Amino acid sequence: MKKLYIPIMILAGGAALYEQSKATPNIYIMVGAIIIFMYGMMRLTAKVPSKNEENVEKDDSERR
């Protein structure tokens, strides 16, 4: 799935930047591109483990 989200996010970011560079940007295209980009970021970062997760596991094992 990661291979699918990255190109979609690049296209959405490019569309938002292109639309922003116009003299009269369409706000709906920009908002849609930002929503798609943020959704993709959310899906990609959901699989990244937290830095604190390892510390929490150590703390739990030490308390027992």
d(CA 24, CA 5) in angstroms, rounded, equals 29
Has residue 23 been placed in a domain? yes
Is the per-residue pLDDT at 63 higher than 90? no
| Residue 12 is assigned to a structural domain of this protein | yes
Comparing 21 with 58, the larger pLDDT belongs to: 21
Other Cβ atoms closer than 10 A to 47? 8
Asked if residue 7 is part of any domain, the answer here is: yes
Instruction: Indicate whether 28 belongs to any domain.
Output: yes
On whether residue 35 sits in a domain, the answer given is yes
For residue 43, tell me if it sits in a domain.
yes
What residues make up the domain containing 23? 2-48
Residue 62 pLDDT greater than 70, yes or no = no
**Cα–Cα dist 47/29, whole Å:** 28
The number of distinct structural domains making up the chain is 1
Alpha carbon distance, N-terminus to C-terminus of the chain: 39
pLDDT reported for residue 21 = 92
| Total H helices, total E strands in the chain | 3, 0
- Does some domain include residue 14? yes
pLDDT of residue 30: 93
Q: Work out the pLDDT band at 18, boundaries 50, 70, 90.
A: very high
Length of the chain: 64
What is the radius of gyration, based on Cα positions, of the chain? 19
